[in-house]
Amino acid sequence: MQVLRGSLAPLTIAAAVAALAVAKMPTGLAAQAAPAAGPSNGTLIIAGGGRLGPEILDRFLELAGGRAAHIVVIPTAGEGDDYDATYGGAEQFRRMGAASVNVLHTRDPKVADTEAFVAPLREATGVWIPGGRQWRLADAYLGTLTLRELNGVLERGGVIGGSSAGASIQASYMVRGAVQGNTIMMASGHEEGFAFLRNAAIDQHLIARGRQRDLLEVVAARPELLGVGLDEGTAIEVRADSAVVLGRSLVAFYNAADAGGNPYYFLEAGDVFDLRAARTRRGERKPPEESDARAVLTVIDRLIAAIRGGDTTAVRRAFHADARLFALTTDAGRHIAEPSELDAFVARIASTGGLAEERLFQPEVRVDGDLASVWAYYEVWRDDRIEHCGTNAFHLARTGASWHIIDVAYTVRRDGCGARGR
């Protein structure tokens, strides 16, 4: 059993997991990847999806030239047939102050192979590829003038970034390329990526969607590949043979030369991986079990954010369908465990449009196989004051590839709040 304790600070995934103690997983892959390599001149920003922080997006814009940047956004992985200049993925870079932002999109490889279509790429200092399904990018741009001009951006010293599908497409081997669905890791006819990162396969949403072991299938079948798995809100900055980790969570490396008996291991922000040597150049390797603790804390973190924002769909997503909640209170000396059904809890959130801000402290995580618990002191703040406080005790179960809350019990106090959270 893992026993994992966080610090005395409000719950964030990065802070809560940084000091976790973990055990090793037996058995590693025997094969070693062939040397992987990124661009010799330009830079790649390869992100795992989800909300990306300024440490990723600001770095992308900086590499593209800051306020002098000429950005091209390629939203072709998305479901839409048409994207114009008002596309949200382009607006974010305009708000950040880029000199120019263009949207480039087609589903027709014949159009992608024309001089007129690629003209914006010849002026670009940075290209951003948002999420969706990576096979759409491959179908539209492989073997075309567009792909050649994307490589031209890198040859001029520019930057290409992408998140989710825009991450996986940057590898030479494209995972989850099946048109039928994104659970198929190796899809015949849809395995070729853009190869900005050579001899590699890139997966995304790694811990948030319970995908930690999915790349094992790929590197077992293709042992010459380096596997790279990125969690949400996390990226690698790649140039030549160096990959620097950015963001709030973890990046997994599969088929690494220094795996130490593990099938994969993790690095975090600031750590550096040597792509050619397939080993950590700087930083501390973390074995696979740490990802379970992060996944559990991610569920709790998202639940709190959903409650604060009144997002009842996201609240339900955090819970098992049959979950129950218990409020433990004292009334005139009587100790009461008052149960409520999930529907009633969700209805309360819907009726209020969101609750006051809840802050968690001292999260203690225990994981044993498919069972986990999180014990944490909490405070509920409203109008810059503590309304009440207590302790949350969550139980979670891994169902399928994801963790869900199966029950939560919490105490409620209005006196003595504040001291433990400071």
Q: Is the pLDDT of residue 4 over 90?
A: no
* Spacing of C-alpha 306 from chain mean position: 17
pLDDT at 329: 83
State pLDDT tens for residues 285-309: 998 877 788 889 889 988 988 888 8
Tokens of 122: 């010849």
Q: CB-hemisphere CA count at 13 Å for 422?
A: 5
Cβ proximity of 38 and 44 under 8 Å:
yes
pLDDT at 29: 46
pLDDT at 420: 57
State pLDDT tens for residues 63-82: 999 999 999 999 999 998 89
Q: Is the pLDDT of residue 20 over 70?
A: no
379 CB-contact burial (10 Å; exposed 0-12 / middle 13-18 / buried 19+): buried
pLDDT at 179: 96
Q: Is the pLDDT of residue 94 over 80?
A: yes
Bigger pLDDT: 260 vs 19? 260
Q: Where are the domains of the chain?
A: 26-286, 293-411
Integer angstrom CA distances of residue 25 from 273, 339, 397: 21, 39, 20
Cα–Cα distance, 274 to 282 (Å, whole number)? 9
Q: Is the pLDDT of residue 1 over 70?
A: no
Cβ proximity of 218 and 175 under 8 Å:
yes
Cβ proximity of 268 and 245 under 8 Å:
yes
Mean confidence (pLDDT) of the chain = 88
pLDDT at 18: 36
Cβ proximity of 167 and 47 under 8 Å:
yes
Q: Which run of H or E residues covers position 380? A: strand 371-382
CATH number of 26-286: 3.40.50.880
For the chain, report the end-to-end CA distance as a whole number of angstroms. 30
CATH class for the region spanning 293-411: alpha beta
pLDDT band per the 50, 70, 90 thresholds, residue 383: confident
pLDDT at 32: 63
pTM, entire model: 0.72
pLDDT at 15: 39
